[in-house]
Amino acid sequence: MAETTYDNATLHLSFSRWEAFLVRRSAMEVPISAITGVEVLPGWTSEILGIRSGMVISGFLKVGTFRHPRGIKRLVAMKRGHPVLRVALGGPEVEFDELLLSSPEAYTLADALRSAGVR
- pLDDT tens-place values along the chain, 119 residues long: 789 999 989 999 999 999 999 999 999 999 999 999 999 999 888 888 999 999 999 889 999 999 999 999 999 999 999 999 999 999 888 999 999 999 999 999 999 999 988 88
Write the CA distances from 77 to 73, 109, 115, integer angstroms. Answer: 13, 16, 24
pLDDT in tens, 3-24: 999 998 999 999 999 999 999 9
Report the C-alpha gap between 53 and 116 in whole angstroms. Answer: 32
Q: How many CA atoms lie within 13 A of 87 on its CB side?
A: 35
Sign of CA dihedral 57, 58, 63, 68: positive
**What is the predicted pLDDT for the residue at 58?**
87
